[in-house]
Amino acid sequence: MVEESEVKNIVAEALYLQALAKAIESINSLEVRFDELPEIFSRLTDESLTAQVLIYSSYLEDKMFELISLRLFFLDSKSDERRMFSGSGPFSSFESRIFLSYHLGWLNSAQKNKLNAFRKMRNEFAHNAFRTNFDDPKIQSFLKTMDYDLDEFLNPIRSSLIENGIAPLLEKDAISIEKEFLANLSILAHRTFLDYLVLPSAMAHKVSPNDIMKSGFDSMPEPCRDINLRLSDVLLKLLGSEDIAS
């Protein structure tokens, strides 16, 4: 005879898996793609530092607008959109988008801090165009907050490439500060977009965000697969060996 507690566990697990499936389905229903990400970074490699920061900021803010809009209900008219995103609207500025997204649970704490560091750095470049650089103590402080510990981030990727007989990514000592900066910006975009994709659905369906993502690459929601593929494209072009990059 099956214990009552075991039956309850079976039912509870089935209910959770049902909610998890609905969360994944809700992410799959979002009409969003990230095809433009590799093109943006291909363009950035040919720009000055100031232009890189300002172009990237424009792209990031526009994509945040798109992803936030997908999560808002009854945004049926241009008038409603303007009231939400323009003038004194709650999502009108980069700062307010970060602030409200965090307090809605759509961005995690670490991501909020990195986005705010980039926002402040963007302001420095906007107000001191072509006079600000990596040697500025303020910029160094912002970069430290934004850093994803690139070597630690890339080591599992290097290992996977080597296991598959593919030339690995560049080692840390061979990565210039300019390439490291762009790599961190690409990861900032990737992590921000993933938060907007996953966290609202996880909250709405009362499931763990980790469970949405841990089912394996082929089983994760399509928009999450897409952003992972786009980040891979960017990192391989930025940091890949000559064999990969070509």
Q: What is the pLDDT of residue 90?
A: 92
Parts of the chain with a pLDDT under 70: 1-2, 241-246
> What is the residue range of 143's domain?
4-245
Residue with token string 């798109």 = 66
- Only one residue has tokens 């490291």, namely 180
Read off the pLDDT of residues 96-143 as tens digits, 9 standing for 90 and up: 999 999 999 999 999 999 999 999 999 999 998 888 999 999 999 999
Position 208 scores a pLDDT of 96
Please list, in sequence order, all residues whose beta carbon lies within 8 angstroms of the beta carbon of residue 48, skipping any fewer than 6 positions away: 130
Q: How many helices (H) and strands (E) does the chain have?
A: 12, 0
* pTM, two decimal places: 0.92
Number of domains the chain contains: 1
| 141: Cα separation from own chain's centroid | 21
What Rg, from alpha-carbon coordinates, does the chain have?
20
Q: Could you give the C-alpha distances from 101 to 8, 115, 117, 166, in angstroms and in order?
A: 36, 11, 16, 39
